[in-house]
Amino acid sequence: MAITPAQVFAALLSDPDQENNRRCRPERRRSKSPAAGGEREVQVSASAEVSAPPNRARLYVMVASKKETAAAAKGSVNRRLDYIVQSVRGHGVREDSVTVTKDFRRVENAYQMEAEVCVIFGDFGKMEDLCNLLVEKLDSSVIVGSPQFYHTTEAVESIRRQACLRAVANSRRKAFEVCRLLGQTLGRPLIIREEETRESEGLASEAPTPDNTRPLTVQQQISNASVTVCSKVFVTFELKSKDNFKRNN
């Protein structure tokens, strides 16, 4: 008598409580990046350069006198010092932009008095007018120094922002031209990353002074103190599908 083979099916059942909890627990889904989701995109890099002259100038004016008596030394300096301060204020410089320091000492059998006036200018034309006035009206005991041009912290930050924003604008124009060439429609930016920032002083177009013995002119000093910021960005833009483009229109 032939024996019919038997078939056995088995399954491992989990704990009913654990099974119910698993079914009630919401399914976790991994967030997908734009690239992982298969979205169409275009990636471009662009750069921009912004140059700006200094927005402040620091001017030092020194007064000195050496006399046999202390009163004579002080009187000589104070007369010139009062005239300098009045001239500075007459050119519209605020009081908090003027600093006066004095030094009084005895040298051998005489008394020496020195005073220094530091003035911060935002208007370089007024600074030049003041320098010319002091040189014309005062004697050789008054020394008008060369101005020191510089940028404030706020001005440098503004130049950096302008360079970055222009680089982003250049990247959008670049991506738009690529899309137009390929018959595509440019969408919103997905990723904007500033990859590099370079800063330098002086204008590259300025030629070196042919005669190093001659002092620099005011315009040359301004050019040397100018700041140039170059920003390079990497931007990923979305490519709109034709269906989305039609719906938006």
Question: To the nearest 5 percent, what fractions of the chain are helix, strand and coil?
Answer: 35, 35, 30
The confidence score (pLDDT) of residue 8 equals: 32
Q: Which residues contact 141 (CB under 8 A, 6 or more apart)?
A: 63, 64, 65, 76, 80
The confidence score (pLDDT) of residue 211 equals: 57
The confidence score (pLDDT) of residue 28 equals: 44
DSSP secondary structure of 19-31:
HHHHHHSPPP---
Type of residue numbered 247: R
Percentage of the chain beyond pLDDT 90 is 69
The confidence score (pLDDT) of residue 27 equals: 45
The confidence score (pLDDT) of residue 83 equals: 95
Q: How many helices (H) and strands (E) does the chain have?
A: 6, 8
The confidence score (pLDDT) of residue 18 equals: 53
The confidence score (pLDDT) of residue 10 equals: 33
Q: Which residues contact 222 (CB under 8 A, 6 or more apart)?
A: 53, 54, 124, 149
Q: Which residues contact 72 (CB under 8 A, 6 or more apart)?
A: 65, 111
pLDDT along the chain (249 residues), means of 10: 38 48 47 52 96 97 94 94 94 94 91 96 95 92 94 96 97 95 93 95 62 78 95 95 54
Give tens-digit pLDDT for 65-117.
999 999 999 999 999 999 999 999 999 999 999 999 999 999 888 999 999 99
